[in-house]
Amino acid sequence: MNGVTVVALGRIEETVLEAVTTVLGHTFQIPVRTAPALPEPVFAYDQQRGQYGSVLVLRHILKERAEPASKVLGVTEKDLFIPMLSFVLGQAQLSGPAAVISLARLRQEFYGFAADGDLLITRAMKEAVHEIGHTFGLTHCTDNRCPMSLSNTVQHVDIKGTDLCATCATLFEEKRRQYPTSNNRSSAAG
């Protein structure tokens, strides 16, 4: 069974990477490994927006996969965007190989509050499950406690749990039987 490679873009706290690795292995029952960190994604910087283009990041991290049929999750501190949205907490290729999450807006400091390391870790775990769920073909869930529900704000991220709802868990099992032969690769933001 092919797994997921977690790769930091720039310096990311070990505790965050460990938590993300653990929750992905637990949720999807797949091997998860971490790759050596890549440099900051300066190539994706958009001077006008002062943010980083997530599509370029996705393309860049593809080569970090252990093998062609496996998945890769990038983790960055940089604030990500896609052209039609002011920001994204993460992005993934639906039924594709690559996903990325940004910690920028998961940090309490972003909103002027004191840093909260545990809350950051919990939020990162939920967003990692969400984006890797997309790579396995899961789409947005209407249950706002399910990690596959769409989050545009951290308030919504905080309502979600890390465990897939029963519907998404069943869907994942179905998708997994087809994986890795699926070649339906459109993009899913958010």
Residues with a catalytic annotation lie at: 131
DSSP 3-state of 102: strand
Cα–Cα distance for residue pair 22/137, rounded to 1 Å: 21
The nearest distance, CB 161 to Zn ion, in angstroms, is: 10
With 0-12 / 13-18 / 19 or more C-beta atoms within 10 angstroms meaning exposed / middle / buried, residue 183 is exposed
Q: Which is nearer to Zn ion, 63 or 185 (CB)?
A: 185
Q: How far is the CB of 142 from Zn ion (least distance, A)?
A: 8
With CB under 5 A as the rule, give the number of residues binding Zn ion.
7
- Least distance in angstroms from the C-beta of 123 to Zn ion: 14
CB of 36 to Zn ion, least distance (A): 28
Residue 81 backbone zone (phi > 0: left; psi -120 to 50: alpha; other: beta): beta
x/- binding map, residues 112-151, to Zn ion, per CB under 5 A? -----------------------------x-x--x-x---
For residue 88, what are the contacts with CB-CB under 8 A and spacing of at least 6? 54, 80, 81, 82, 102, 189, 190
Interior angle at CA 122, CA 118 and CA 132, nearest 5: 150
Nearer to Zn ion, 120 or 164 (CB): 164
Closest CB to Zn ion among residues 15, 184: 184
Q: Which of 71, 165, 172, 179 binds Zn ion (CB under 5 A)?
A: 165
Residue 182 identity (one-letter amino acid)? S
Classify 10 in phi/psi space as left (phi over 0), alpha (psi -120 to 50) or beta. Answer: left
Task: Return the number of the residue (21 or 54) whose C-beta is nearest Zn ion.
Answer: 54
Residue 98 touches Zn ion, criterion: CB under 5 A: no
Of 17-25, 28-36, 115-123, 167-175, the window that binds Zn ion (rule: CB under 5 A) is 167-175
What φ, ψ does residue 91 adopt, rounded to 5°? -150, 150
Binding site for Zn ion (CB under 5 A): 141, 143, 146, 148, 165, 168, 190
